[in-house]
Each structure stands twice: as C-alpha cells, then as structure tokens.
Structure 1
Amino acid sequence: MSSEPAAAPRRPHPVDRRAVRPMVPRSRDEPHRVATPLELFFDLCFVVAVGQAGRELAHDLAAGHYGDGLRGYVFAFFAIWWAWMNFTWFASAYDCDDVPYRVTTLVQIAGVLILAAGVPRMFADQDLTLSVVGYVVMRLAMVTQWLRAAAGEEGAARGVALRYAVGITLCQIGWVVVLLLPESVRSYVIPLGILAELSVPVIAELRLRTSWHPHHIAERYGLFTLIVLGETVAAATVAVQSAVDEHEGLGRLLPVAAGGLLICFSAWWIYFAREVHEHLRSNRQAFLWGYGHYVVYGSAAAIGAGLEVAVESAVYKAHISETAATATVTVPTAVYLFTVWLLHARHAKTGVEQALLPVASLAVLACTAAGGSGVLVAGLVSAATVAVGVTLHARG
C-alpha cells in the first residue's frame, strides 16, 4: 500500500462459472462486497496459531519468564498477522474464487497449521524450524497468487504484482538462511527480516497501489477481531475449568472469571461501536489503520493469556506475585483500549467522548494496584466505559 492513486480496476465477470478465471482487479466501488466462506475458514484456521502463541505466552508469564515470553510472542504473532494481513488485502483486490485460487489458499492454511505446531518448540527451545517452514509455505503460496495476478495485468500494474512476488520470495530465502545461523546471532538478524517483510508492500506499490474495497477490508478486520476475542474467551474458560477440576471452591476464581468476561464483552462493544469503512478513504489512512491492527490483535490475544495467568495465580500455581499476575491482564487491556481509540474510534467522536477511551485505558492500568481483585475492577471499569460511551452518544 502506498499513497499513490490507483489505476481504474477492471470488473471480473460475475456470471463466469469456469473452473479457472482470469485474475483481474475487482472494483473498489463494487456493491455488496462481503467476506466469503473461504475467507472465514481462512481466519478460523489462523486463530489456531493465535491460540498456540497465547498459551505459550501465558506459560512463560506465569513462570516469571517475561523477556522470553514477550520476545517469542511478538515474533510468532508477527508471522501470523503478517501472512493473514497480506492475504486479506490481496483478496480484497483480486479474489476470483476459482479452483486454483481456492487450492492456493488451502495451501496457505496448511502453512499456518504447520506454524502453529512449531510455536511450542519456538517458546520452549528457541527451535524455529517448524514455525519458519510453516511461514515459508504460507508466503510462497502468496507468491503464486501474485504471479497469477501479474499474468492478468499489463504495464505498471503488472510491475506491482511482480515486485510483490520477487520481494516475498527474497524474504523467504532470508528466513531459510536464518535457520542456518547460530542461535546467538538470530536475535540480531530476525528484526532485519521483519523490516524486510514490512518493506515489500512499500517498494512494490511505490508508483501504483493495488485496488482494495473499504467495506470488505473493514469487515475482514472486524471478523478477525471477533475470532481473536472468541479465542480469548475460550482460553479463559479452559483455564477456569482446569482450575476448578484441580481445586475445590470457586471463591477466588469467580472474580477473575467475571472480570475477564466484562473485559471481553467491553472489548467487543468498543471495537464495533462505530463503522469504520467510511474512514478508509485514502491509501494513507488505510495503511496506518491496517498496520496498526497488529497491536489490536496482539493485545486482544494477550488478554486471554493474561486471564490464564490470573487464574493460575488465584489457585496459587503461578510463580509471580498477584500484582504481576493482574498486570498480565490490565496492561494488554489498556493497550487494546487505547489502540482501538487511536485507529478508528476517535474519528467518530467529539467533545468529552474523545477523551473517554484514553482515560479508560489509564484507569484500567491503575487497576493493577488492586492486586488479586484487579481483574474484576478492570472489568468493571471497562463496562463502565461502555455505559458512559453509550450515554454520551445518546445525548449527542
């Protein structure tokens, strides 16, 4: 994505039912452009990897291994998010939904499942092999999609597709080389690999940007937010169930469960309080919004990991203090609230409403000082934020 204007995309033939169709750009103004069943399946499979990363983060945090846990989580989540986001924007422009397109997408799904299988090894032993193999499978499948797009394009648009294909391929060669390096060197090289991945869209679309559909993109991002929040609820539920099975009584678990549910419900409400597709008018706005969701998704999934830690702390299984356990919930919740406000909530707010979410994020962060009851207090603050927001909007 870049700030340059796009060429007028050509419309695919909606009545074309052939097994193989020409891959040409879809119109940015196409009516009734919604997520497809294949895209929903794609998202559901990706959340398996999100769940694995969250569980491993929870394990490290509960053991007090903050640095190792956060480093592993940031790297694993980048791989998941980057592959998901690249496909999402590509599909918004070129989805032709024929047999080769579907098969290639299923290969990408296979790649994310391989990546997910390697996440525990990456956290426990710093063994990147399986995760990198899965990531490379996903990204090389994306290369074939861009080559198909190049075959159906001409001129500058063809150049964009080819630059994507070449850039992604070079990055994958780099990740394979990383596996051959000593572990002591990898920590310095991995950030360079991430920067290289991030630079591919900038270079590829320097002169001409690809087409994308604002409503479709907003819906795809919203659906993935729902799935990540659902994984957060599921992770917290499993943690509570395991604690109940191993320990008698719910007295210490109920506040964590109640606070966690309030946080998750509030996170959903706040994200979907306003439609955002009308804000995505320019490529610059879409660039900042789309990339910023790395923090939204990462913090949302981290809330689930934090709730697992809080549950373990409530039944005296965590090796950290109650305050530290509470912080594993309050910190990602505060980050989530502030980032959602920064990316799109603020564009539909005026006056006092504009300050609501930044103040709420600080208030949630302050709940850390409440120790064992901090999760419940943070949940109540989140729910109160929703109530105040609804009231202010109704009065406005």
Structure 2
Amino acid sequence: MGEDEHFTAQLREELRHRVRPMRGRDPKERGRTTTPLELLYDLTYVVAFAAASDMLAEQLSHGDIWPALGAYIFAVWAVSWAWLNFTWFTSAYGNDDLLFRIATIVQMVGVLVLTYGLPVSFERAAHGESPNNLLMVIGYIIMRVPQILLWLRAAREDPDHRSNALSYVVIISIAQVGWLLTAIVPLPVGVTVTALIVLALFEMVAPVVATRSYGFSPWNAGHLAERFALLTLITIGEVIAGTTAAVGALTQQVGWSPEAVLIAASGLVTAAAVWWTYFLVPSRAILERRPERAFGWRYAHLALFGSIAAIGAGLHLTTIAVEKGGVSLLGIALALAVPLATTIVLIFLTWSVLLRSFDFTHVPLLLITLAPLAAAVVVGAVTRPGQSIDLEQPGSLTTLSLVVGLVALGAVVEVVGHELVGFGHTLRAWRADRSGFARDSAGGPPRIAGGDGTARS
C-alpha cells in the first residue's frame, strides 16, 4: 500500500463513523491509548463526583454523619460501577462507530439524570429512609441499558466470546429489574437497604463467576490501567476544586493572610501528593504482564474513587464552616484526615494486589504518614471542643490553617517515604513474584498469561 492509500485509509478510519463490525480488540496490543470519545464520556463523571462530594459536605455540616456517608457510598458506587463496566466493554469492543458513539452519549445522559437524583438521595437518608429513589434508578438504567444492547451486539458479531457476552447481558438485565423494584415497591427501610446491598454484591460477584465459566472478553490490560488512572485524576480534581472554594470563601471573609496562603498551598500539595503516590504504583507495567490480576485491582479502585473525592468533600466542608459556621474544627480535621488516610491505605492495597505481596516493611512508613493526620485530629479535638469555628475569635484562623497543613504534611511524608524506599520494595516484590511464577510453571508445561487474563498452556 502506497503512502497516499495508507493516509486515505487512516482518514477513513478516523473520520467516517459508519457501522463497523464489533469484533474483539487485540488484548495484547501495546501502547493503546484512551480515545477522545472515552475522554468525553469521562467528563460527565466530573459533574457526578462533584455533586456527590458537595452533598456529602452539606449533610456533614448538618451533623447527619452516618446517613450522609451511607448516601455517599451508594452514590459513588452506582456511578463508579457503571463507569467501570462501560470501560471494561470499551477496552474489549470499542470500535468508535456510529452506533457505539450514540450508545456512549445515551449513557452520558444517564449519568446526568442520576446526578439530579443525588439531592433526593441524601435528603431521604437524612430522614432515615432508603437513599435509593426513582430518579437515580432511572438514570442508572439509562446508563446500563445501552450496555446490554452493546453486549448483545458483541455476542452476535464476536462468536468466539459469545457466551461471555451473553452472561453480561443476563447479569445486567437481572440487576436492572432488581434496582427498579427497590425504587417502586414500598418496603421497610431495613429491607430496602438490605436489597440494595445484595444487588450491589450481585453486580460485582456475578461477572467474576460468569468469567470463570464462560471465559474472558478480549480487554486490554494496559488500556484499562490508563483509563482507571484518568478517572483517578478526575477525582483528584475534586481536591483542587475544594481547595479553591475554601480559600475563596476565606479570603472573602478575612482577606488574604499567611494562613490563607498556607491553606491554599496545603490543598494543592495534598492533591499533588495523592497524584504522586497513586502513580508510584506500576499498574500498567504489571497488568500487561499479569492481566489476570486486573479483577482485584479494579475493585480496589471503587473505594479509591470515593475516598479521593471525599477529601474534596472535607475541603467543601471547610468552605461551609467559613461561610455559614456550624462546623467544629474537629469535624473539619476528621473530614480531611480520614479520607486521606483511607486513600493512602487503599493505594497500598492496590500495590499489594498487583504484586501479590503484602510487604509489612511498609507499616512503619504508614505509621509515620498517619502521625500528622492524627495530630490534626488532636488539634481539632482540643481547640474549643464542641464549638463551631468562628474566625472572629483570636487564633481560630491559625488553628484552621494548622489542621489543613498537618493533613498536607501527612500526604507529603507518604510521597517522600515511597520515593526513598518504595522503588526497592517494588523491585524486590516483582522479582519474588516472577520467581514464584517460574517455580509454579516448572512442574508442568509452561503457562503464559494470555491477554484476556487466562493462563494458557
């Protein structure tokens, strides 16, 4: 093929989005990157995470701690799980044709509809009711029905993976009926919440069971690593947005001061440190060599997305405290320190799942990292206990900036510690894992992990 013919074929592929066969992508393709359509799809999740974070902060400011956390977990799970499933399908079958683009846009509409239902969800939870509501369910169904149609299309056009595709059709269809029933059938709150938990577990466990029975779809491990990293960046954006809002509210109240500068710097440092720490985990490099580990790795991200966005909620709570009052310094300290500590632990667990190594030499580093976070909570607890923040009181602004600064210090300690010792731990864990893999293979024919996650002789 000449250069002109090659260029013409490239333009046809990129610019003409007619209906194309939906055959499985190459799971071993190296260097595969995120498409503009996938980036567009992710933009709706900026809105969803921001709305969930804001609602969490608002309810925490009213003192509805446990109902707020329950509604937040439910919202983040629903949004993240729908994103994860579509991303998994796209990695296996994304062909960017006309029908695929339309299905993607319809799912984006579903994300927005679900987001509109979040205020109702948090309000219902605050009144002791189920966080589920019909508007959220409608949005979720709009997100999931196109996936059913896409899996049906994959089952028809990719006969090698038909059983796997049809298993997803059955699982998603059953789940949607269940979600709809929980929203329209009047049941006691306890029964409804139990049903929500059962449905969520079904959606997460059933695909793993089906995969063991019917095989894997041809997803690309390196592509998935990039996609999950990009959504992680989106959630980190909530930390930056929360910092901007908090500092903006503060400067409107008291003007610029050294304390305001410290809070602004601390928020940005926290966001950067979370980013730095996350990308110290060699997800793409390991998954391309051990793709079968993607299942545990992806489930760790469900909690990770929520914990990172919750850091932003803590900063939004700081904004509410400055503008409206009614929030104690201890409340702010906990709202910042707990999700950051959770994020650090989850990143460590992600590393452990990837490398199949629970390196307890990380424990001293973890304790050192958590020490400033604990100090922030102590400062919050001993500073005017039981009283709301009042910037007109002497020292209030200083203690507020101290709490935010200590939280940022914990994030920095994590980065410095991993830069000093993390590479050596990762290298040792990888060598031990590789040696163990070789020993397991020595007893029989060589077993090579296929790109679809299977081990083939």
Matches within 5 A, 1:349-360: 354-355=362-363, 358-360=366-368
Between 186-195 and 33-42, the greater mean CA deviation after superposition: 186-195
Is the CA contact (8 Å cut-off) linking 2:369 and 2:414 kept in structure 1?
Answer: no
Give the 5 Å matches for 1:163-182.
163-182=167-186
In the alignment, structure 1 residue 227 sits paired with structure 2 residue 234: yes
Equivalent position SS for 1:97: coil
Asked if 1:383 corresponds to 2:387, the answer is no
Give the distance between the partners of 2:83 and 2:38, measured in 1 at CA: 10
> What pairs up with 1:270-309 in 2 under 5 angstroms?
270-280=277-287, 281-309=289-317
Match of 1:242 in 2: 249
Q: CA deviation at 1:388?
A: 3.6
Q: Secondary structure at the match of 2:367?
A: helix
Residues of 2 paired with 1:216 and 1:348: CA distance? 21
Partner of 1:4: none
CA–CA separation in structure 2 for the residues paired with 1:139 and 1:352: 40
Q: How far 1:341 moved relative to its partner?
A: 1.6
Aligned-pair Cα RMSD in Å? 2.7
CA change 1:163–1:63 in 2 (3 A) is same
Aligned to 1:370: 379
1:190 aligns with 2:219: no
Q: 3-state DSSP class of the match of 2:336?
A: helix
* Paired position in structure 2 for 1:90: 89
- Residue 161 (structure 1) shift: 0.6
Instruction: Name the structure 1 match of 2:208.
Output: 202
Relative to structure 1, is the Cα distance of residues 357 and 226 closer, same or farther in structure 2, using a 3 angstrom cutoff?
Answer: farther
Counterpart contact for 2:103–2:146, Cα < 8 Å: yes
Structure 2, unaligned stretches of length 5 or more? 1-8, 125-130, 381-399, 426-457
Matched to 2:314, the amino acid is G
Deviation string 1:319-367 (CA, Å, 9 cap, x unpaired) is 3421222110000001101111221278499989744652345324413
Change (3 A) 1:350 1:136: closer
Question: Pairwise mapping of residues 1-396 of structure 1 onto structure 2 (< 5 A)?
Answer: 19-125=18-124, 126=131, 128-154=133-159, 157-182=161-186, 184=189, 185-207=191-213, 208-246=215-253, 248=255, 250=257, 253-280=260-287, 281-313=289-321, 315=322, 317-344=324-351, 347=355, 354-355=362-363, 358-367=366-375, 368-371=377-380, 372=400, 373-392=402-421
1:240, distance to aligned residue in structure 2 (A): 2.6
Query: Closer, same or farther in 2 for the Cα pair 1:359/1:158, shift >3 Å?
Result: same
SS at match of 1:305: helix
Cα distance in 2 for partners of 1:64, 1:279 equals 43
**Closer, same or farther in 2 for the Cα pair 1:146/1:349, shift >3 Å?**
closer
Offset at residue 188 of structure 1 (A): 2.4
The verdict on how the C-alpha distance between 1:172 and 1:127 changes in structure 2, with shifts beyond 3 A counting, is: closer
User: What TM-score, normalized by structure 2, do the two folds share?
Assistant: 0.77
Q: How big is the shift at 1:153?
A: 2.2
Please list every run of 5 or more consecutive structure 1 residues that lacks an aligned counterpart in the other structure.
1-12
- CA 1:30–1:144: 2 relative to 1, 3 Å: same
Q: Contact between 1:107 and 1:141, CA under 8 Å: does it hold in 2? A: yes
- Give me the TM-score of the superposition, normalised by structure 1: 0.88
The one-letter amino acid of 2:200's match is I
Greater Rg by CA: 2
Q: Which has the higher contact order (CA 8 A, sep 6+)?
A: 1
Report SS of the residue matched to 1:79. helix
One-letter amino acid of the structure 1 residue matched with residue 337 of structure 2: T
**Any idea what the Cα deviations from partners look like across 1:174-224, whole Å, max 9, x if unmatched?**
111111133624222211121221133123312211122121111111111
Pairs aligned (count): 382
For 2:408, the aligned partner's letter is G
